[in-house]
């Protein structure tokens, strides 16, 4: 996903403006007002987006160090997604991904900053009746599951069951956050609400639970 598309999604989530309206430019006066406020909020959020295609792990480390020096307070590094990072080309792909994972771990320790790396899943999950992911489903997992302090999966029933409805006819928009590994804490599952029209995840209130 390019930087422009990512920013559009962030604006939709921040301003609670439907993504379709942003893409088409057909916003009501109220939506324009919320969109403008969201732009201001994001402009002040000190978010840096680098959508360089085929970026190498060495470039990620170099640019992260530079940002840390310039800002003095790098709060989070987010990789979307790990398998898109270009390796050295001197090993097979699984070895490359393992080395990339190890380098990200080193970067997190060096800069004392959390690094969240999204990852693809293998197609094996599609063949199971219960499609909730497990650690072995991480594509080219190698050392990914070993290096990570926390491994979390998102699972949505309606991703696999298109148009799924709850008994009362309410759209099934609950998402499970499955904490499959937690080096310093408990494992378990937390439910969130996914507002698809805004690309936004929200906590479930006691009334909704």
Q: Which helix (H) or strand (E) holds 84?
A: none
- Residues 172 and 157 sit within 8 Å (Cβ to Cβ): yes
Confidence at residue 169, expressed as pLDDT on a 0 to 100 scale: 46
Mean pLDDT of the chain: 88
Start-to-end CA span in the chain (Å): 33
Residue pLDDT, tens place only, 97-130 = 888 999 999 999 999 999 999 998 888 888 888 8
CA 76 to chain centre: 12
CA 81 to chain centre: 8
Residue pLDDT, tens place only, 55-107 = 999 999 999 999 999 988 899 999 998 888 987 776 687 888 888 999 999 99
Ranges of H-type helices in 44-89? 57-71
Angle at 54 between CA 52 and CA 56, to 5 degrees: 95
Whole-number percent of the chain with pLDDT over 90? 60
CA distance 152 to 178: 5
Q: Which residue has the tokens 């480390």?
A: 61
Q: How do the domains of the chain map onto residue ranges?
A: 1-48, 50-148, 149-209
Q: How confident is the model at residue 172 (pLDDT cuts 50, 70, 90)?
A: low
Phi, psi of 189 (to 5 degrees): -130, 135
CA distance 152 to 145: 10
Structure tokens at 149: 């302090």
Q: How confident is the model at residue 162 (pLDDT cuts 50, 70, 90)?
A: low
């Amino acid at each position: 996903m390019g930087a422009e598309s990512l920013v559009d999604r962030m604006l939709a989530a921040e301003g609670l403006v439907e993504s379709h309206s942003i893409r088409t430019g057909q916003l009501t006066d109220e939506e324009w007002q919320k969109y403008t406020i969201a732009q201001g909020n994001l402009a002040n959020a000190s978010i840096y987006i680098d959508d360089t295609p085929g970026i190498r792990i060495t470039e990620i480390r170099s640019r992260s160090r530079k940002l840390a020096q310039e800002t003095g307070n790098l709060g989070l590094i987010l990789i979307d997604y790990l398998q898109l990072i270009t390796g050295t080309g001197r090993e097979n792909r699984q070895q490359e991904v393992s080395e990339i994972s190890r380098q990200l771990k080193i970067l997190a320790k060096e800069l004392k900053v959390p690094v969240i790396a999204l990852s693809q899943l293998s197609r094996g999950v599609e063949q199971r009746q219960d499609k909730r992911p497990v650690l072995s489903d991480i594509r080219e997992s190698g050392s990914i599951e070993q290096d990570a302090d926390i491994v979390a999966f998102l699972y949505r029933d309606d991703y696999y069951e298109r148009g799924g409805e709850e008994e009362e006819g309410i759209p099934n928009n609950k998402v499970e956050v499955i904490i499959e590994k937690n080096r310093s804490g408990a494992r378990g599952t937390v439910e969130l609400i996914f507002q698809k029209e805004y690309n936004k995840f929200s906590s479930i209130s006691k009334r909704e639970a």
